[in-house]
Amino acid sequence: MQGNYFQPELECASREVLHYIQSKRLRKLVERCYNNVPLYKKRMDEFGILPGDIKDIDDVKKLPFTTKQDLRDTYPFGLFAVPREELARIHASSGTTGKQTVVGYTKADIDAWAVGAARSIVMAGGTKADLVHVSYGYGLFTGGLGLHYGAEKLGATAIPVSSGNTKRQVQILQDYGSDIICCTPSYAMYIGETVRDMGIDPQSLRVRAGIFGAEPWTDEMRREIERLLGIKAFDIYGLSEIAGPGVACECYLQSGLHINEDMFYPEIIDPDTGEVLPDGTYGELVFTCIGKEALPLMRYRTRDICSLDHTPCECGRTLVRMSKPRGRTDDMLIIRGINVFPSQIESVLLELGMDPNYQLVVDRVGNLDTLEVQVEMTEGMFSDTVRSLESIEHKIGNALQSTLNIVAKVRLLEPKSIPRSEGKAKRVIDKRKL
């Protein structure tokens, strides 16, 4: 698999070449933003920066940040740098954390995004001979069309299954012989469970790799999916504000996700001060869309928490690697003053051999936050006495307390009682009225 790249001249370019491309594109981007986006002109004027002050990529830190709120305030088309007629496509966020945000692409943007997705499929070991089974939802959500265009760009065969109708997904895996499957990790779990429940040996399926993203997931979850589907599972990263899936992806070494930094320039900042942080330090991931025309966001704050690593990867790529994101700052729970990400709780549960179907219920009783961790019972952990079941609850509670320093009530549920997700799983139910 080593030495397999979609665009080796860019993916394996020297830092000097990347620096040159990034600098050139940044100058063009700043020019475009200043002249075409009123909000950016206003902000740059306030900062006292003119496009000519931005000479190379290192000057990016002089630029103002963009936030999700800016997209909401200018809803729907206010941050676009091209006339509406030049848009080739529009996507939108689900709007689960507030008003939906609308993003647009020119033909060239769609093409660049498809290149990012095609590189990602190749990073996951894909070739043009493969059948790429896309089980992400098609529609305003970027997942389905993103991987679809990536597969076509690569020259592979795309199967636009979309999400839902899980038994049919399994049927297609069996009958068409899909080589690669793409969806959210929680849907991959669901498909894997369905394969098991239908009595199918995962080894009898041709599928060998999965490209999963659009929600945070842990390495423990990865192993569970790999076991259920008999595949190697790769993490892909993207968000609609930047492009969609294909902003970054893991190579076969699975030691971080290679960011397509010739198009999407990343920085890690301290979320409180905005200060740029060095490699290896966790902070908020920020992107500048240096290759984009329609929505060329500068220093967009993703709210995702991760770190960067610029050392070259053994796979031969020089593209900077981001660590697997721990979760978004807005997913972070604050339980009695302690910050915790749902993914950290997931790690603890799977480490203990629990079922990866779990749900977190946060509430406030009096003035105290309470957290209930709900885990489904499996035949493997079930035993006939109340005492041993209570000891499972205590074991989970103690592990959460010692690893994350949080106090949680653990509740065991019957199998399949937590709703399965065909898209992004709803892990947290927050009943607090704040």
Partner 1 sequence: MQIQQLSIFVENKSGRLAEITEIIGKANVDIRAISVADTSDFGILRLIVDKPKEAVESLRAAGLTVSLTSVIAIGIDDKPGEFAKAMRVLADGDIGVEYMYAFISRDKGKAFVILRVLETEKAVECLEKNGITLLSAEDIYGM
Cα dist from 69 to 99, 263, 294, 353, whole Å: 9, 23, 18, 40
Distance between CA atoms of residues 88 and 124, nearest Å: 28
Assess contact for 104 and 89: CB atoms under 8 A: yes
Assess contact for 263 and 291: CB atoms under 8 A: yes
Q: Which of 2, 382, 398, 401 binds partner 1 (CB under 8 A)?
A: 382
Q: Point out which span in 37-45, 94-102, 405-413, 426-434 binds partner 1 (CB under 8 A).
A: 405-413
CA quadruple 136, 139, 142, 148: dihedral positive or negative? positive
Q: Say how far residue 350 (Cα) sits from the centre of its chain.
A: 20
Q: Is 385 a binder of partner 1 (CB under 8 A)?
A: yes
Q: Which of 97, 383, 398, 405 binds partner 1 (CB under 8 A)?
A: 383
Q: Is 352 a binder of partner 1 (CB under 8 A)?
A: no
Q: Which of 352, 389, 407, 428 binds partner 1 (CB under 8 A)?
A: 389
Q: Point out which span in 51-59, 272-280, 331-339, 380-388 binds partner 1 (CB under 8 A).
A: 380-388
Distance between CA atoms of residues 302 and 221, nearest Å: 23
Nearer to partner 1, 156 or 408 (CB): 408
Nearer to partner 1, 42 or 394 (CB): 394
Assess contact for 309 and 323: CB atoms under 8 A: yes
Q: Residue 336 CB, nearest distance to partner 1 (Å)?
A: 22
Tally Cβ neighbours within 10 Å of residue 39. 15
Q: Point out which span in 67-75, 215-223, 358-366, 408-416 binds partner 1 (CB under 8 A).
A: 408-416
Q: Which of 129, 365, 386, 434 binds partner 1 (CB under 8 A)?
A: 386
Q: Residue 355 CB, nearest distance to partner 1 (Å)?
A: 11
Q: Residue 432 CB, nearest distance to partner 1 (Å)?
A: 21
Distance between CA atoms of residues 276 and 287, nearest Å: 12
Q: Where are the beta strands (DSSP E) in 170-288?
A: 180-183, 209-213, 232-238, 245-250, 257-259, 265-269, 283-288
Q: Residue 384 CB, nearest distance to partner 1 (Å)?
A: 4
Nearer to partner 1, 175 or 414 (CB): 414
Nearer to partner 1, 12 or 352 (CB): 352
Q: Please name every residue paired with 361 in a beta bridge, in sequence order, or none if there are none.
A: 372, 429
> In 3-state terms, what secondary structure has residue 374?
strand
Q: If binding means CB under 8 A, how many residues of this protein chain bind partner 1?
A: 17
Q: Which amino acid is at 134?
A: V
Q: Please name every residue paired with 249 in a beta bridge, in sequence order, or none if there are none.
A: 236, 258
> In 3-state terms, what secondary structure has residue 387?
helix
Nearer to partner 1, 336 or 416 (CB): 416
Q: Point out which span in 113-121, 134-142, 328-336, 383-391 binds partner 1 (CB under 8 A).
A: 383-391
Q: Residue 165 CB, nearest distance to partner 1 (Å)?
A: 19
Give residues in contact with partner 1 (CB under 8 A).
377-379, 382-386, 389-390, 411-417
